[in-house]
Structures are given as C-alpha cells and as structure tokens.
Amino acid sequence: MRRSAGKASWCDGLVLTSWVVLLLAAAPSAAFARQLKLWPLFDYTSDPTTGTTSVRILGPLAEYQSDPQYTRMALRPLISIRQARVGHDDEVRVLYPFMTSHWGPEEQTTRALGGLFTYRTSTTSDGKTLTGQHLRVLPLYFYDWDGEHGARASLLPIYGNVENLAGYERVQMVLFPGYLRVAQPRYDRQFFLFPFYSRVGGAGGSGYDVWPIYGRTAIDDTYRAGFVGWPFYVWDEHSRGDETERRVISFPLYASVDGPHRESRAYGTLLYVHTVDTAADRESFAFPWPLWEYERARSTGAILAVRVLPFYEATHDGPRATRTIAWPLYREQRFDDGSHAYRRTDGLILLAHDERETDLATGKTAHVRALFPGVVDEGDPSWDRGGSPALADAMLPHDAAVREMYAPLWRLYGWSGPVESPRTSFLWGAVTRERGVTKYPWRWDAPDTAAIQE
C-alpha cells in the first residue's frame, strides 16, 4: 500500500501536464495575440503586465487560467485542478463533493463519498520521505502506518484496533459484539457481549456493569456513576476540587441535578423542568421541554430566551442574539461587541440569504446576498462579485468549490472586480466589458510591439 513521495509527485505532475497540453494544444502563443476570441469555440486572453493567461473552450466547459501564484484547470462539471507555482498548495476536485484531494507541504488528504473514504499521507518537510499513511473506509476498514509503530489494519466488526475513533483514544474489538474495548488516557472499558456485561479498569478506573440490572463506575476522584434497573434509577457525580455535582434520574417520574452552582428539577421526564444556575446568573422554566421554554437573568430579570416550538424562538446571550420564526421560514443571527457587528438572515433554510459584517471603527461593511434561483452577490465597499441565475451557489454562497466548478455552467450574467469598474460577462462570455472596453463574440487583439521584440 505504501508508495514513495517521489512517485506520487511524478504521477501528479503527469496529470497536470496532460491537462495543460489538452487545453492549450490549439492556443496561439502570446507573441501572436493578446486576445483571440471565436465564441463559443475558443477564447484566449493574455496580459503580460500581470502575468495572467486565460483559455476557455466551448464557453465554460473547459477552462485554463494562470497567474503568478496558481495554475487552474477545469473540465466542468467533472473535474477541477489547482496547482501552486511555488511550494505545495495543490487541489483536485472530481464531481465535487464526490471526491476532493489536497496536497500541502507535509500532508496530503483525499476524501470521497462524503467522508466515508479518507486517505491521508504525511511526509518530511522536503516532501521526499513518507512518514505516515492512514486509510479509512467507513465503517468497515481502517489502515494506519508510521515508521514507529509499523502497519495496523482493522476490518470491522471482525477485528479492530483503531486510534482516535468516536471520541476515544483507542477502540479495539474482536467479533463485535463479542468483545469491545474503548480506552482513554486514565481508564478503559471492556465489553463482553456488548452491551450486557462490561468492566472498567486502567490506571484510574474501576467498576462493572451487568446491563440493565446493575452497574457502577469510578474514575479517579472526579467521576462516579451507577444504575439499578436502567433506566428507572440512574445516578452520576462529577467532582472538581471540593465541588461535586450530582444527577439522579428516576425514569419516567423524576430527575434532579444538585451542585454548588446549579440545581434542576424535572417532573414527568420532560413535562416540567426548572433550572437555576447561579454561576451563569440564569433561571429557566420549561413546560414541556423543549417545546415551551423561558429563561431569564436572576439578577436583573432580563429575558434571555423564549421558545415556543415550532412557531417562535429568540435568545440573547451577551453580544449574541438569535431569532427564529416558523422554522424553516425565517432565522436571524446577530453579534455586536462594540467593535464588530455581524448580522445574518436565512429564509427557507437555503433559499434566501443576507449576511453583513461591519467594522464599527471604519464603518466598512462586507456582504453576502443570495436568492435562489435568481442571484448571488458578495463583496465590500471596494470589490464585488456575483451572478445570475444562481442555483447551488445561492444555497451555498460560501462554498468556493461550488462557485468555481459549477456556477459558471448556469451563470448567464456575472460580474467580478472593483466596484467602480467590475468585469461583466453576458451569455457565458459571449459579450464582456472590462476597463471601459466592450468585447463581442469575435475579436483579435495584436500584442504590443515591445512584447513581440522581446
């Protein structure tokens, strides 16, 4: 499974080189034109002063861009490639979000199928020596390799020995649910015929469970818990220094929390809940939780939260405030700490979006606005970009991959650049306007004489 970093770099370079050859095979040299446009077949633009080159074939379907920092290629909607000119900051997307790959200076990561498949390698700073390899094919196969511990493979539920899984330092199993061990730095729990019998051990752990009849657990002097006839009687204690908070559940009749700073009583499980938190200066009432809830500051009586689900919800916590009306119809979020202000509203979850962020010292406001399927607009007082119609890019306006890989396919009208004179494009680039010059579907611009001589 292991491969050398040099071989990986060679293969990656071959892929990128093939793309350049494909897209530029018919492109004229910058010595013969600054722009050659035969829309929709071909559009070539070069600007020697900024070091940029752009080639588009068949409108937005095939595109190549080059600038002093990056080379970018796209065959929409199948694949996009970005390669850094200096160092390692490369990215490949295939049918995004089906698969993405990123190559950094010391780590390379490939994810597919929404994270079900993950392959990660690490190298030395010069990129020549492989130091680690990790493969995840959730939820069945796990493979890890590093120079110190060698190779480790797991095929769940037959056999497993996996680090950093489900919040545990290590998870081990054999013929699950026959045997399972979950470990943390100070304790571990071993299950035999999960979940019916388990033992707690390790440096700081002790106890056993015969579920659901009886169980008890202790971890150092910080945590104790137990049950009798789960879930009818369950209790636990959390200790920190000289302070201990105890929770008791007698399902379905009664539950309580008692500690130095917090007290809570619940009757009928969730039918009525009353909580007092002196450390946070809060008191809340719920009947039944979480459908109706009211929270206030004990010292001032100020209302901190009101919830009547699913019709209305409002919260206020210091500089943060939220309000929801008939979710998912409308949701609003606000933040104002005196130097920075933020406001976001969403309608029907993803279909309408208005986001503003203001530096109160300068008064400058950045914005993101989107209305599906009409328009998306993002910018600040000096710069702006957007387009229409807007489909997935309106629902996910912050997703750069959607904006770069898919939005050009349906964007009949788009703009990008300084607010005073942005570059505008009509009908997938058939007509463009930039720096006061309108360019039509067919155009040829000769290069500067100095450029030819050089």
The predicted pLDDT at position 358 comes to 96
pLDDT mean over 389-418: 95
| Maximum distance among all Cα pairs of the chain, rounded to whole angstroms | 91
28 pLDDT higher than 50: no
* Mean pLDDT for the chain overall: 89
* CA–CA dist 225, 207 (Å, integer): 9
141 pLDDT higher than 50: yes
For residue 21, count CB atoms less than 10 angstroms from its CB and return exposed for 0-12, middle for 13-18, buried for 19 or more. Answer: exposed
110 pLDDT higher than 70: yes
Q: Which two tokens stand for residue 146?
A: 């590093």
Provide CB contacts within 8 A for 13, sequence distance 6+. none
23 pLDDT higher than 60: no
Q: Which two tokens stand for residue 326?
A: 């008939």
Task: For residue 163, give the 3-state DSSP assignment.
Answer: strand
Q: Which two tokens stand for residue 353?
A: 């979006």
* CA–CA dist 385, 424 (Å, integer): 9
| Residue 4 CB neighbours (<10 A) | 12
**Span of 44-53, 64-73, 206-215, 361-370 with lowest mean pLDDT:** 44-53
132 closest CA partner among 299, 308, 41, 1: 1
Q: Angle 288-290-291 (CA atoms, 0-180°, nearest 5)?
A: 70
β-partners of residue 263 are: 258, 276
β-partners of residue 355 are: 344, 368
For residue 240, count CB atoms less than 10 angstroms from its CB and return exposed for 0-12, middle for 13-18, buried for 19 or more. Answer: exposed
End-to-end CA distance of the chain: 50
117 closest CA partner among 109, 128, 125: 109
For residue 288, the one-letter residue type is P
| Residue 267 CB neighbours (<10 A) | 15
Stated as kind and residue range, the H or E segment containing 242 is none
pLDDT mean over 90-105: 94
24 pLDDT higher than 70: no
The predicted pLDDT at position 435 comes to 85
Task: For residue 407, give the 3-state DSSP assignment.
Answer: helix
Q: Which two tokens stand for residue 208?
A: 């056993």
